[in-house]
């Protein structure tokens, strides 16, 4: 029976324009070319081997029915070069998988190096463009193997013989100690000239140097540096370098519930996800990425703010129409498999807060407002002032009726508050008097309509009894101080009603076979980012030991390569959802920073250090507060 790899059995390689998922059995089961949002040429992750895979492994046994898996694997240093070690009775080898930062055609390079003895190996590549729907024409051109289908051409170059057998490009070879065999997979348009073949060893050196140079700029030096750097690398890998857009995840339709229908395409740039990711990057010293994202933002949302979308394509595309791929059986039978995302047309008022908060943080970090940014900012706040009282679909992109979500209103308050701050700092020229009044109005309404005084907790929406993990952000964004009884009550309520015994947090209640508040049936796992929000909330209200303990439990959820999916099933003890997830890694980074900063300050300073303060506070305190406030989704 075919072995079904768990999500956590995959590693990620990428070139900051696309990425590949490499299983611990040596198979690449997901690769979109030439971009993150292009149709996959290997789609085995969402189907079977016949939908496209490329496996390099010891030759016996040669199929995936075996329980044999890689003996060990790791990333080489602080890089995205994946090193897998195989040990057999005949000897041992390691395989280096990587994608060089692009300077021409996108390429996946796999180098097999002999360590001991002599090992018989097999490379079996089954290209299936069009998300596994097309069997390409495989043939030889000038001694090189090529698979062509429509607009796609895949070139596979190696020094060992290749044959085509039943739509599979096969090489059987041996490597002895000290020997190496390299495979280079290149993509180009089928009408274009054949791509050049790089020197694999030189490409390896260049790739390692790139990542070592980039990670050297990380300013975080706390006790969790290894985890933070690995998360930063994951976030960088999900950045589309040509435009500065950041995908929420490089996959589609990995399920939030095995066998369920909560399967979505995350290969786009959400304003919310990108904003919070950039906040994490800014907080660890990466201002260049913030500048690139701001340029992307100005291009993507240019025009009437009334037409603002909550997500765009990675180069600013607006048409993200959703469709289902009926020929794919889905990951472990979880259907439908979707491409595109229908939530693009939703109203999510919190996005205004996330975008403006990031512009504020960029300014506080030394990325000065430019004229175009100021114009965009003013248009956004004017539009929000007209719309903040409308119901919306909220942060969780419900597909049910719109509601007055508390988190959306809180983030509307954040948008107004940060605009006032930037204006008072001289970065904007806006009449703040009506904004000060608006800020007070929003605050009063949320505290009146979004708070349940009987249970002493903020609720998911006005008048509802449901809870929402997003309300954990109330102290983080400075809406209320951490020692406010309403904040403490909300933290306790979320722990009581939305948390697992291990402290892992669900976004909101789901009700199985009945349709829930999100308009969907079924359940989902605990949400990794929400669990990091609980870490932050516990730390801010003074329960630092509990926060550290929960943070350590969350670190243990990562796979052996330090990667996190969107969700985690504490019963089955497995990762769920798209993988790796920018939100999850952003949450890890921000929680690590917060824990370090709070641990180095006395309890007397904690409240002042952790949240935004009124403008009457000393300048030095305000700067410290701004450094700590980016955590929201």
Sheet architecture: strand order including 526-527: 526-527, 567-569, 574-576
Run of H or E residues at 231: helix 225-237
Q: Nearest 5°: phi and psi at 513?
A: -75, -15
The pLDDT value given to residue 625: 33
What is the C-alpha separation between 287 and 32, in angstroms, rounded? 28
What is the C-alpha separation between 630 and 283, in angstroms, rounded? 8
Q: What is the pLDDT of residues 340-384, one digit of tens each?
A: 999 988 999 999 999 999 999 989 888 878 888 899 999 999 999
Q: Quick one: what percent of the chain has pLDDT higher than 70?
A: 91
The pLDDT value given to residue 523: 64
Domain boundaries 222-628, corresponding CATH code: 1.50.10.10
More confident residue, 520 or 483: 483
Strands 19-23 and 40-42: unpaired
Using alpha carbons only, what angle is made at residue 132 by residues 129 and 135, rounded to the nearest 5 degrees?
Answer: 60
Mean pLDDT of 19-39: 98
The residue extents of the domains of the chain are 7-203, 222-628
Q: Quick one: what percent of the chain has pLDDT higher than 90?
A: 79
Q: Does domain 7-203 have CATH number 2.70.98.40?
A: yes
CA distances for 13 relative to 31, 43, 496, angstroms? 10, 16, 39
What is the C-alpha separation between 166 and 168, in angstroms, rounded? 6
Evaluate if residue 632 carries a pLDDT over 70.
no
Q: What is the pLDDT of residues 528-573, one digit of tens each?
A: 999 999 999 999 999 999 999 999 999 999 999 999 999 999 999 9
What is the C-alpha separation between 591 and 166, in angstroms, rounded? 50
Evaluate if residue 493 carries a pLDDT over 70.
yes
Strands 311-312 and 269-270: antiparallel
Least confident segment among 27-31, 388-392, 604-608 = 604-608
What is the C-alpha separation between 395 and 382, in angstroms, rounded? 21
> Which residues, at least 6 apart from 231, have a Cβ–Cβ distance to it below 8 Å?
280, 562, 564, 585, 586, 588, 589
The pLDDT value given to residue 307: 81
* Residue whose C-alpha is closest to residue 335's, from 23, 47, 42: 47
């Amino acid at each position: 029976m075919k072995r079904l790899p768990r999500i956590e059995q995959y590693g990620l390689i990428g070139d900051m324009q696309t990425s590949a998922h490499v299983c611990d059995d040596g198979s690449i089961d997901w690769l979109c070319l030439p971009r993150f949002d292009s149709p996959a040429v290997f789609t085995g992750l969402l189907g079977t081997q016949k939908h496209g895979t490329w496996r390099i492994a010891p030759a016996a046994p040669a199929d995936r029915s075996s329980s044999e898996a890689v003996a060990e694997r790791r990333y080489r240093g602080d890089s995205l070069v994946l090193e897998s070690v195989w040990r057999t009775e005949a000897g041992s080898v390691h395989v280096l998988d990587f994608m060089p930062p692009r300077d021409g055609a996108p390429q996946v390079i796999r180098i097999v190096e002999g360590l001991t003895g002599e090992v018989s190996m097999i490379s079996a590549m089954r290209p299936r463009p069009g998300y596994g729907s097309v069997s390409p024409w495989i043939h030889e051109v000038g001694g090189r193997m090529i698979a062509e289908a429509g607009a796609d051409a895949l070139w596979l170059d190696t020094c060992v013989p290749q044959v085509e057998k039943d739509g599979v490009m096969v090489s059987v070879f041996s490597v002895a100690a000290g020997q190496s065999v390299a495979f280079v997979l290149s993509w180009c348009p089928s009408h274009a000239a054949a791509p050049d073949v790089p020197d694999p060893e030189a490409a390896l050196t260049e790739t390692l140097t790139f990542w070592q140079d980039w990670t050297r700029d990380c300013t975080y030096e706390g006790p969790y540096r290894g985890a933070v750097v690995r998360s930063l690398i994951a976030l960088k890998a999900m950045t589309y370098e040509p435009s500065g857009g950041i995908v929420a995840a490089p996959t589609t339709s990995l399920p939030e519930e095995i066998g369920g229908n909560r399967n979505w395409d995350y290969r786009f740039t959400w304003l919310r996800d990108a904003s919070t990711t950039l906040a994490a990057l800014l907080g660890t010293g990466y201002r260049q990425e913030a500048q690139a994202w701001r340029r992307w933002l100005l291009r993507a949302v240019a025009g009437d703010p009334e037409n603002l979308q909550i997500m765009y394509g990675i180069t600013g595309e607006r048409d993200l129409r959703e469709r289902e791929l009926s020929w794919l059986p889905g990951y472990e039978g979880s259907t439908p498999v979707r491409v595109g995302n229908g939530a693009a047309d939703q109203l999510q008022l919190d996005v205004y807060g996330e975008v403006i908060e990031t512009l504020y943080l960029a300014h506080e970090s030394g990325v000065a407002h430019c004229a175009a940014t100021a114009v965009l900012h003013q248009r956004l706040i004017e539009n929000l002032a007209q719309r903040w009282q409308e119901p919306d679909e909220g942060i969780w992109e419900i597909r049910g009726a719109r509601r007055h979500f508390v988190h959306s209103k809180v983030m509307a308050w954040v948008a107004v508050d940060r605009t006032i701050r930037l204006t008072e700092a001289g970065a904007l020229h806006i009449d703040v008097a009506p904004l000060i009044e608006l800020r007070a109005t929003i605050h009063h309404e949320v505290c009146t309509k979004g708070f349940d005084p009987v249970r002493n907790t903020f609720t998911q929406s006005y008048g509802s009894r449901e809870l929402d993990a997003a309300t954990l952000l109330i102290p983080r964004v400075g809406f209320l101080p951490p020692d406010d009884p309403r904040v403490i009550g909300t933290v306790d309520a979320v722990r009581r009603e939305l948390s697992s015994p291990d402290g892992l947090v669900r976004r909101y209640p789901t009700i199985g076979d009945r349709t829930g508040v999100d308009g969907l049936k079924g359940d989902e796992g605990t949400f990794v980012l929400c669990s990091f929000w609980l870490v932050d909330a516990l730390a801010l209200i003074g329960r630092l030991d509990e926060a550290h303990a929960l943070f350590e439990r969350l670190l243990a959820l990562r796979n052996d390569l330090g990667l996190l999916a969107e969700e985690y099933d504490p019963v089955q003890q497995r990762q769920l959802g798209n993988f790796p997830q920018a939100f999850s890694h952003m949450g890890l980074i921000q929680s690590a920073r917060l824990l370090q900063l709070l641990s180095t300050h006395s309890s007397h300073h904690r409240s002042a250090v952790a949240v935004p303060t009124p403008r009457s506070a000393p300048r030095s305190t305000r700067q410290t507060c701004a450094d700590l406030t980016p955590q929201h989704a």
